[in-house]
Amino acid sequence: MSLMIGVPREVFPNEKRVATVPEVVEKLIKLGFSVAVESGAGDAANFSDETYRVAGAEIVTGAAQLWAKSDIVFKVRGPSQDEVGLLREGGTLIGFIWPAQNPDLMQQLAARKATVLAIDALPRTLSRAQKMDALTSQAGVAGYRAVIEAANAFGRFFNGQITAAGKVPPAKVFIAGAGVAGLAAIGTAASLGAIVRANDTRAEVADQVVSLGGEFVKVDYEEEGSGGGGYAKVMSEGFQQAQRDMYAKQAREVDIIITTALIPGKPAPKLITAAMVASMKPGSVIVDMAAEQGGNCELTEPGQAVVKHGVTIVGYTDLVSRLAKQSSTLYANNLFRLAEELCKTQSVKSDGIIDANMEDDAIRGLTVIKEGNVTWPPPAPKLPAAPPAVAKPAVAVPAAKKGHGHGGSGEPMAGNKLAIMFGVAAALFWFVGANAPTAFLAHFTVFVLACFVGYMVVWNVTPALHTPLMSVTNAISSIIAIGALIQIAPPMAEGMPPPNEWIRWLAFGGIALTAVNMFGGFAVTQRMLAMFRK
């Protein structure tokens, strides 16, 4: 018998998201589940009851009735105390739980003998877990929305303009933290035309910042900032002081600051002091994306936008919810992928039965309560077994060869071969120089030099770049083709001698080889472009 997935209406203040959407309801039903949605659950995200009903979901009136009939409950925010009381004993709950910050909630859920999967506890270092990573999908939405809120509060254009009415300088945006949310904010601000700067304690994100159109501002202090699980770690006091000095300098120069710094299980670090806010230009904006965890700015008031020292400080805690339709769709897809993983251990994947397999690293990390037993925090992930060492075969030492009067060493023999090769080449050049016409010698010299330069250019390039190099070789090939055609064509002016037959045949061969090269280059390029087309 298939299980029933229930989707209640979110009761958290100002929460507009919904845990699944009609498009995903159809997929869940194909997976073997039944789906029930509380009436009005998707209204704030522009998903009507009728769209859910058309997708195959049952519309249930009232939260109590929905929770009573649901084997599995999909939620966005953690349940309230009333909702914990509505959860069926032995039921399954999936959503954002934040077990480190909510120990009392964990005990209440354990008392219900529930199985709880906290989507925020997903081990993000597992590559196959990316499709279930709701933290990443929601952080991307939040980063985008933070820039939109900053633009709304800012009194000027983001991009620079020169008009008949005057010149408008581009806005300068500084983003503290280049995680998923920060990178989304960098890309959005840069696309709006702002000058974007960013900083992060993890030096490896510098290339990502630059690739999105930003400038990475480095702290003048050497310390590695990468923490476990893809997060940044708490830095030393020396680094933090150098970082504060850098932030103070940026605060005086930029128009907009967006902060994204969070450390799992701890209050948000204070990065922007009151003195830095006072030093900013009047009309500047700070968007504190860490407001829900206390904020990165000392003057942030969570949930509100306030003006202090002439600077607008936006401390909204519902940035993701302000794009409810988009964020709900992404979150619903994350939960659907999780449902697929939970069904993998079953003999028939589409039978609507789940199993929290504790041998699976991803599922083990997500499962914070298993049938009433608190299983959080999870053990350290298993490290892959080291590959067996392969013994290198012993290199046989070649036997010394006698002869040639050199004590049996092989190296002089190699030198002799090289000398013979150069001697043959020199004799060949002398023969060509003694018998070929003057015009041929001039062209032949250019040909030899071209071969040498071409060899050095092509063979010194990394093999991964050989295909992009085809665009350059095609350009060179076109020059060769033009030169060869001139040699084959009859003289255009009177008195000019016709080209030598040797030159004609060499030119003909050059045209043939060039045609093959050009055609092959275009064919390979076309195949590469086709790989990126849907």
Mean pLDDT, range 68-80, rounded to an integer: 97
Whether the predicted model's global pTM rises above the 0.85 cut: no
Cα–Cα distance, 258 to 248 (Å, whole number): 14
E runs forming strands in 195-318: 195-199, 215-216, 256-259, 285-288, 305-308, 311-314
- pLDDT tens sequence across 89-113: 999 999 999 999 999 999 999 999 9
**Alpha-carbon span 155 to 11, nearest angstrom:** 35
Mean pLDDT of the chain: 85
Q: Tell me: the pLDDT tens digits for 312-321?
A: 999 999 999 9
pLDDT tens digits for range 470-506: 556 666 776 777 777 777 776 555 555 666 777 778 8
**Which DSSP state fits 393?**
P
β-bridge mates for residue 4, sequence order:
34
Task: Say which range, 126-140, 264-278, 434-448, has the weakest mean pLDDT.
Answer: 434-448
What is the Cβ-side half-sphere exposure of residue 81, based on CA atoms within 13 angstroms?
1
Task: Report, as an integer, the average pLDDT of 284-290.
Answer: 98
User: Residue 265's closest CA among 156, 376, 359?
Assistant: 376
What pLDDT score does 405 carry? 45
* pLDDT for residue 461: 61
Query: Is 521's pLDDT higher than 80?
Result: no
- The neighbouring-strand residues paired with 196 are 173
Encode pLDDT of 54-73 as tens digits: 999 999 999 999 999 999 99
With a cut of 50, say whether residue 268 has pLDDT above it. yes
Q: How confident is the model at residue 269 (pLDDT cuts 50, 70, 90)?
A: very high
Residue 346: what pLDDT? 55
pLDDT for res 429: 76
Looking at residue 94, its pLDDT comes to: 98
Of residues 86 and 530, more confidently modeled: 86
Residue 432 has pLDDT above 90, yes or no: no
